[in-house]
């Protein structure tokens, strides 16, 4: 097994431990146990927990962003926005684990400027992508003219964050259908009547 493959295994083990136990209980030892290996194997790829957690978040974030970009290229009109937002929601059980880790990382980052900066950078990328799609749809007459695009991009992100946080806290709060309905209701206010 190559370096990158083994490193990816370490990242996946860290993700599983964090989703199951939370970041406060995620340690290099716990990750090694998840792998069935020694702590030395983990530290061979990552110097410390912060570095490993950042790598795990980057992997999932990149996957989500790439999937959202693919939606932006595949779908048109309202469906483009819907599908991009649906991708980010915890519609499936595995998505909930991603959100558990994301929220755990956010809480863990408080007071750790380097980690908060990494979080801000990821949100900046997401905001830029949403704004770009909104501008394109506004130019096509799908989204209302005169909207403040940066504000609307942030509102869409906040909507997804809020729904997702609610589901992490209380998985029964919103069904898949309710999640989709909330997104569609918000989009109704953005779309042009034309």
- What are the pLDDT digits (tens) for 67-110? 999 999 999 999 999 999 999 999 887 788 888 888 888 888 88
Interatomic CA distance for residues 28 and 56, integer angstroms: 14
Interatomic CA distance for residues 15 and 23, integer angstroms: 10
Q: Could you give the domains of the chain?
A: 1-47 (1.10.10), 56-190 (1.10.357.10)
CB atoms inside a 10 Å sphere around CB 44: 14
Interatomic CA distance for residues 97 and 101, integer angstroms: 6
Where residue 89 falls (left for φ over 0; alpha for ψ -120 to 50; beta otherwise) is beta
Which pLDDT belongs to residue 162?
95
Name residue 191's beta-bridge partners.
143
Interatomic CA distance for residues 108 and 22, integer angstroms: 10
CA distances from 36 to 3, 22, 32 (A): 17, 19, 6
Which pLDDT belongs to residue 114?
86
Which pLDDT belongs to residue 194?
54
pLDDT tens per residue, range 131-188: 999 999 999 999 999 999 999 999 999 999 999 999 999 989 999 999 999 999 999 9
* Res. 17: pLDDT tops 80: yes
Interatomic CA distance for residues 34 and 31, integer angstroms: 5
Interatomic CA distance for residues 49 and 51, integer angstroms: 5
């Amino acid at each position: 097994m190559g370096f990158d493959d083994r490193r990816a295994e370490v990242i996946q083990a860290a993700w599983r431990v964090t989703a199951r136990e939370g970041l406060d209980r995620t340690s290099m030892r716990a990750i090694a146990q998840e792998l069935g290996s020694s702590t030395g194997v983990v530290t061979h790829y990552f110097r410390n927990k912060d570095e490993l957690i950042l790598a795990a978040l980057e992997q999932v974030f990149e996957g989500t962003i790439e999937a959202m970009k693919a939606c932006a290229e595949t779908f048109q009109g309202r469906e483009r926005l819907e599908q991009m937002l649906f991708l980010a929601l915890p519609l499936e059980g595995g998505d909930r684990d991603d959100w558990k880790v994301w929220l755990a990382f956010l809480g863990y980052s408080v007071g750790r400027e380097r980690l908060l900066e990494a979080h801000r950078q990821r949100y900046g990328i997401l905001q830029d992508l949403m704004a770009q799609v909104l501008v394109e749809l506004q130019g096509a007459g799908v989204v209302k003219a005169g909207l403040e695009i940066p504000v609307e991009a942030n509102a869409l992100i906040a909507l997804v964050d809020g729904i997702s946080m609610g589901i992490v806290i209380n998985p029964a709060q919103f069904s898949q259908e309710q999640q989709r309905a909330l997104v569609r209701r918000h989009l109704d206010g953005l779309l042009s009547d034309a």
